[in-house]
Structure formats: C-alpha cells, structure tokens
C-alpha cells in the first residue's frame, strides 16, 4: 500500500469518526434547568412540567440532579437523577439525557463557555441580570457542573404553558435551535403545582432498583404477612405555619389533587392541612377494618405518632411501623405498594405517592376529605410484591 492510498484511508476514517461523534447531538437542541424550588415533592412537580415542556419543544431534556438539603451540610447536595429513577421508561416517552452526561459529552461541542447564557422571565434585583447563581441552591447547583454564565436572556412574555396558545411554536420561532442549541433556565420551565395536563407524565417515572429493592425488603422483612395501610403525616413546625394561610389560599400547594384545579370538589380546611388526632385515628381504623390490614406503615416529616397510633389501634390486632432511619424516597416507594393509602391533600409529597398509585390503579384517600366521610374505597385483593 502506497503513501497516497494510506492517506485516503486515514481521511475516510477521520470523516467517519468526526461524523459519528456528532450523531449523538440533538439538532433540535437541549433544555437545562435548576430544580431550585423546595424539596423533593416540589421538584417532582416541576420535573413533570419540564418534561412536558421539553416534549412540546421537541428538545432533549437534560435530567438535573435532585437538590437535597442535609443536616450539617452548609450547601445543597446534588444527587444524580438516575440514583432515584430509571432512565429507560423516560426515554420511551421523550429524549432525555442525564445532565452529567450532557455536560461531559455534548456541552463541549455545542455550548462553549463563551456563549453560556441563562434564561429567566425578567431581570432580578434591579439589574440587567438573571442572577442565576445567587444564593443556595442556585450557586452550588451550577457549580457542580462548573457552569458560569456570560449573560442573561429575558424570555417574557413567553410562558411555560405549552398546552395552550400555541406556546411551543412561539418558543421555537423566537429561540430556534440553530442559534440557541441550549436553553438553560434559572428555575424549572414549569408551574407549581404540576399543571393538570402534565399529571399523567408520572407514569414514566419508575424507581431505580436501589430504591425499589429497599422498599420491597422492608415490606417483606419488617411488616407482618398480609395487607397493610400506608399513611403520610405532615406535622412539622414549618408545615403548621404554612397551614395558617389555608383559609386565604384555597389552592395552597397540592390541594388540587383532591379539591380540583378550580375547587370544584370543595375548599381546603385546617383539618385537611393539619388533621386532628381524632380524624387520623377514625379514618385509620376504618381503613384497617375495610382492608383487614395486619399493619400500618407511617411516613412523616416530623412526628410519626407511633405510640399514639399503637394505643389507639391496640384492640384491632394491627402493628404500627416506620423505617428505623427514614428515607423519604424509600418511604414513597413503600407507600406506593400499600393496599390503601391515606395522605395529606395539601402536600406535594403525598401528591407524588397518589400519582404513582393512580398509575397502577391503587386506591387512596386524604385526611379530612371529603368532610364527614364514613367509608374508604372498596378493598382490592392483596397483590404479591
């Protein structure tokens, strides 16, 4: 083989490698955002909306890590999206990529440091800037990926409601992917609570094997054999303060999950937000009796009421349990597997469990709703894990 032939072969190989290296780049562009509002329940609501937004714009969604606040840590901690959820079920619905992979493999090709601008509705703090990295968790989130912004883009009056007003087309017309391959937002491009049209997207969220197996192990090794009722209690000081506003905020947090988005099913009450001991024990006794439950699993942000519930149900031959070292995500996976679930109408944490159970056709109820309720849903036959 002469030198000329060898040169031609090398050129062909270079072209093949170069072309293939760009095959993984989405020509329609990408969406990045910081899940910087609230804890897991709020972030999950925002994720569903962001997924719907990305689908409508036909851009690949970079799956952001979950932002967590841990005791003793001065800054937020970023946990990879795929630690809690599987990638494949999401990919069957739309194009997604873990943000870690995007920053490593895609960003160097289409999002050079000199062109990284951040999107927000309007300028903040009296300056011509989105101030995307001011404070915690904003700064720590973007610093996790060594992202600095060279400028800000104000997208108002556009909004995130891609289900009305032909909004997706307006976004794509104003920010075409040829000029804007990456739309990076200061916060989630979604509303809170989750928009009604996006609730169904929860069906594409599936727990990772790590989380699912912990939940299954707890049920098999800790709970007695037989049906069990799962309950969620919100009673921390911050929650009590939030509930003080319920009278003037009929759509507070996730109230729409039981009251409807237009309060067509009723209005929020203090009893729904902070249920009394009487309400909790009455509804729980009904559920245990209806489902012939052998145990109750309790998830809580503060007080699990284990002694109180044990005393209240001592004549019903039922045991009360919680995780020795509660993990919110494992709690949710356990609640999703209960034969009946009672949660807090106002809580986004409850809303996550309720949506997952709805996907699988499992019955759920809420504390204090509907008012003066006398029965829980009809029991289902216990399903093997």
Q: Mean pLDDT of residues grouped by 10 in the chain (385 residues)?
A: 44 39 84 97 98 98 97 93 98 98 98 98 92 97 98 98 97 98 98 97 98 98 98 96 91 96 93 97 98 98 97 96 97 98 98 98 97 51 38
Show the tokens assigned to 132: 């995307």
Distance CA 115, CA 175 (A): 14
pLDDT at 126: 83
Contact between 291 and 379 (Cβ < 8 Å): yes
Domain ranges of the chain: 23-198, 208-366
For helices 328-335 and 348-359, the axis angle rounded to 10 degrees is 40
CATH for 23-198 (3.30.1340.10, 3.40.50.2000, 3.40.50.11340, 3.40.50.720): 3.40.50.11340
Half-sphere exposure for 91 (CA within 13 Å, toward CB): 7
Show the tokens assigned to 158: 């556009």
Per-residue CA distances from 3 to 7, 10, 11, 14, 17 (Å): 6, 10, 12, 16, 21
Contact between 193 and 45 (Cβ < 8 Å): yes
Distance CA 169, CA 191 (A): 19
Largest CA distance in the chain: 93
Q: Is 41 helix (H, G, I), strand (E, B) or coil?
A: helix
Strands 66-68 and 77-79: antiparallel
* CATH code linked to domain 208-366: 3.40.50.11350
Distance CA 264, CA 251 (A): 11
β-partners of residue 230 are: 297, 341
Tell me which H or E stretch contains 141. Answer: helix 138-144
- Domains 23-198 and 208-366 equal at CATH topology level: yes
DSSP secondary structure string, 189-237?
A: SS-SSPPGGGGGGGGG--B-HHHHHHHHHHHHHTSPSS-EEEEEE--SH
SS3 letters across 319-335: EEECCCCCCHHHHHHHH
Distance CA 60, CA 55 (A): 8
Q: State the Cα angle at 327 between 377 and 194, rounded to 5°.
A: 60
How is residue 353 annotated by DSSP?
Answer: H
Distance CA 303, CA 321 (A): 13
Q: Is 81 helix (H, G, I), strand (E, B) or coil?
A: helix
Contact between 63 and 81 (Cβ < 8 Å): yes
Q: Is 262 helix (H, G, I), strand (E, B) or coil?
A: coil
Show the tokens assigned to 275: 């249920």
pLDDT at 330: 98
pLDDT at 361: 98
β-partners of residue 119 are: 153, 185
pLDDT at 5: 45
Distance CA 61, CA 48 (A): 11
Distance CA 29, CA 20 (A): 18
Residues 6+ apart with CB under 8 A from 175: 155, 183
What is the distance of C-alpha 212 from the center of its chain?
A: 16
Contact between 385 and 220 (Cβ < 8 Å): yes
Q: What is the pTM of this model?
A: 0.90
């Amino acid at each position: 083989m002469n030198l000329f032939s060898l040169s031609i072969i090398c050129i062909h190989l270079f072209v093949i490698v170069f072309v293939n290296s760009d095959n993984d780049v989405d020509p329609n562009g990408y969406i990045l955002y910081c899940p910087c509002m609230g804890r897991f329940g709020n972030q999950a609501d925002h994720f569903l909306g962001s997924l719907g937004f990305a689908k409508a714009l036909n851009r690949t969604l970079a799956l952001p890590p979950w932002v967590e606040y841990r005791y003793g840590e001065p800054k937020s901690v970023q946990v990879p999206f795929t630690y809690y959820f599987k990638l494949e079920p999401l990919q069957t619905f739309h194009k997604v990529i873990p943000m870690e992979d995007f920053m490593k493999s895609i960003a160097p090709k289409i999002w050079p440091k000199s062109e990284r601008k951040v999107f927000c509705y309007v300028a903040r703090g009296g300056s011509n800037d989105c101030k995307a990295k001011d404070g915690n968790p904003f700064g720590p989130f973007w610093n996790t990926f060594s992202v600095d912004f060279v400028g800000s883009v104000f997208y108002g009056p556009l909004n995130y409601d891609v289900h009305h007003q032909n909004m997706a087309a307006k976004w794509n017309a104003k920010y075409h992917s040829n000029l804007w391959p990456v739309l990076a937002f200061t916060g989630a491009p979604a509303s809170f609570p989750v928009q009604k049209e996006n609730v169904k997207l929860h069906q594409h969220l599936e727990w990772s094997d790590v989380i699912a197996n912990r939940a299954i192990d707890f049920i098999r090794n800790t709970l007695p054999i037989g049906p069990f009722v799962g309950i969620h209690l919100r009673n921390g000081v911050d929650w009590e303060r939030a509930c003080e506003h319920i009278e003037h905020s009929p759509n507070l947090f996730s109230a729409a999950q039981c009251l409807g988005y237009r309060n067509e099913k009723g209005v929020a009450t203090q009893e729904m937000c902070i249920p009394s001991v009487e309400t909790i024990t009455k509804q729980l006794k009904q559920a245990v009796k209806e489902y012939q439950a052998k145990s109750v699993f309790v998830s809580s942000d503060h007080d699990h009421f284990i002694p109180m519930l044990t005393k209240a149900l001592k004549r019903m031959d039922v045991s009360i349990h919680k995780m020795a070292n509660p993990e919110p995500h494992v709690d949710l996976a356990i609640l999703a597997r209960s034969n009946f679930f009672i949660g807090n109408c106002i809580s986004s944490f409850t809303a996550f469990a309720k949506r997952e159970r709805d996907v699988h056709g499992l019955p759920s109820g809420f504390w204090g709703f509907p008012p003066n309720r006398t029965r829980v849903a009809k029991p289902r036959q216990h399903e093997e894990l």
